[in-house]
Each structure stands twice: as C-alpha cells, then as structure tokens.
Amino acid sequence: MSIWESIVLGVIQGLTEFLPVSSSGHIEIGQALLGTESLKEQEELLSVVLHAATALATIVVFRKDILTILQGLVSKEDKEQKRFSLFVIISMIPAAIVGVFFDDLLDQLFEGQLVLVCSMLLLTGALLLFAERAKIESTEKLTWGKALIIGIAQAIAILPGISRSGATISTSILLKVDRAQAARFSFLMVVPLILGKMAKDILDGKLQLSEDLVMPFVAGFVAALLAGIFACQWMIAIVKKSKLSYFAYYCWLVGIVGLIYTLV
C-alpha cells in the first residue's frame, strides 16, 4: 500500500465517520476503485488504524464532555450527568452483542459486497430524508428507553453502507431528542465501542504491522484524524440547522452510481 492510497482512505474515513454517509460503505467503494490486492490483504488492520484515528478525533472535539462523563460515573452529586453517562453505557449494549456473537458474519459482509453497500446507502438516504421531513419538534431529553433504541440503531448500522451517525442521529430526532444533545450523544456513544474493538484486536494478535506499512499507515492515521476533527465539528452545526436532506441526496447518488458501476 502506498502512502497516497493510505491518505486517500484516511480522508474518506475521517470525513464519512461523522457525516451521515457511511464510512464503511465509502471505504469499501474506495478500496474497490483503488483496486490493489495489498489493500484487501491489509483491510482489517487498516480499518483498526483509521477507526483509532476517528476515535481520537472524537476525544479531541469532545474532550470536556468526556471528562465530565467520567466524573459523572463516580460522582454522587451530579445526578443528571451520571444519568447521561449511564445512557452511553446502555447504548453500547446492542452493538457490543452483535460484535461479540456475529463477528465472523460481519467479516463476510465486508468482503467486496458492493451491491449490499450501495443498497444500504439508498436506505440511509431514505432514513435521513424521512427524519428531516417528519418535522418533529426535537425538544425532549434522553431516557433509558430512548438510549437503548438509539443503541439498536447503532448496532444495525454495523452493516456496510448504513451510516452510523446518520442512523443514530435520525433515530434520536424521530424520538424527539434535542438535536444538539442527539449529535453529542451520537458521537460520544461510539468511542467506547471503537476502543473496545481495538483492545479485542490487540488481544487476538491482529495488530501486527510490517515495517513497510508503518509510514503509509501513519499517513492514513494523521489524514483520518485531521479530516475527522473537521467533519465532527461541521456535523454538529449541520444537525442543529436541520440540513440532513443534502446527505440523503448524496447517499442516493453514490448508491445508484455504485449499483450501475457494479452491475453493468
């Protein structure tokens, strides 16, 4: 894998992890277009590295919130923050169950399944447009039940082509959760999952990086980190202004073009 290929994939991962257009779907499409065998052989390791970069981007942007959440877990006085911290934990449960018990099946879904990816992008676009056009007044706070439902949406979004942020933010809006809180919750709830996945991969011995891949992967990591910080801040502003329809149209465009490219 060359440095420029890693940078391209890093920028794709950084932007699409936070924008509601499916990072996994775009990485699959990007790898297919670049078309080198080395990418396929290193796909799993590359995915871990790039996800680590976007997790770090989330930590950088929400560093104060994360510190507050950690304090809330041990504090007996701040009940409101403690509730939010527990909501994050609850939201992780569905995706954690899927990741533990269906890991092998998920690996099969991420092996050049471009038809599936493009089809799920069409579904993502429909969900985003529905959430925006529903005209639901998003003014309510999170509850235990809503946190679990949003967590289920995150678990479903493990499928390549379904946007994680798009699914969780749209579900939050449909549940009448305040838009600013919905964006904050959506980005914070994925950090423990990414860190947990990284820990599992390290224990499984999957993070064995050969010397010739050090520089390309470092370049990809930095590209994903910088693009992720930009996209995360941008997405927060977009959610507050209710502009999800633009991303819905984009998902449809990419999905349709991808299907034509794959099937014709």
Q: What gap in Å lies between CA 196 and CA 23, rounded to an integer?
A: 19
Mean pLDDT of 209-232: 87
What angle do helix axes 23-34 and 114-133 make, rounded to 10 degrees? 150
Q: What gap in Å lies between CA 249 and CA 255, rounded to an integer?
A: 10
As a whole-number percent, the residues of the chain with pLDDT over 90 amount to 20
Q: How many distinct helices (H) and strands (E) make up the chain?
A: 14, 0
Q: What gap in Å lies between CA 100 and CA 97, rounded to an integer?
A: 5
**171: pLDDT confidence band, cut at 50, 70 and 90?**
very high
What's residue 168's pLDDT? 92
228-241, pLDDT tens digit by residue? 999 988 888 887 77
Q: Residue 182: is its pLDDT beyond 90?
A: no
DSSP letter assigned to residue 177: B
Q: What gap in Å lies between CA 190 and CA 18, rounded to an integer?
A: 11
- Cα-atom radius of gyration of the chain, to the nearest Å? 18
Of residues 135 and 133, more confidently modeled? 133
Q: Which helix (H) or strand (E) holds 24?
A: helix 23-34
What's residue 66's pLDDT? 83
| CA 169 to the chain's CA centroid | 11
Structure tokens at 11: 């920028």
Q: What gap in Å lies between CA 194 and CA 61, rounded to an integer?
A: 16
77-120, pLDDT tens digit by residue? 667 777 888 888 899 899 888 877 776 666 666 565 788 888 99
Mean pLDDT of 146-170: 90
Mean pLDDT of 152-163: 88
Q: What gap in Å lies between CA 23 and CA 128, rounded to an integer?
A: 15
In terms of C-beta distances under 8 Å and separation of at least 24 residues, what long-range contacts does 208-211 make, across chains too? 208/45, 209/45
Q: Which helix (H) or strand (E) holds 162?
A: none
Which residues 6+ apart lie within 8 Å of 162 measured at CB?
22, 25, 120, 123, 124, 156
For the ranges 24-38, 161-175, 232-246, the lowest mean pLDDT is seen at 24-38
Mean residue pLDDT across the chain: 82
Q: What gap in Å lies between CA 98 and CA 91, rounded to an integer?
A: 13
Q: Residue 36: is its pLDDT beyond 60?
A: no
What angle do helix axes 114-133 and 244-263 make, rounded to 10 degrees? 160
What's residue 189's pLDDT? 86
Q: Residue 38: is its pLDDT beyond 60?
A: no
Q: Residue 202: is its pLDDT beyond 90?
A: no
Mean pLDDT of 131-139: 75
| CA 224 to the chain's CA centroid | 13
* Apex 21 CA angle, 16 and 27, nearest 5: 55
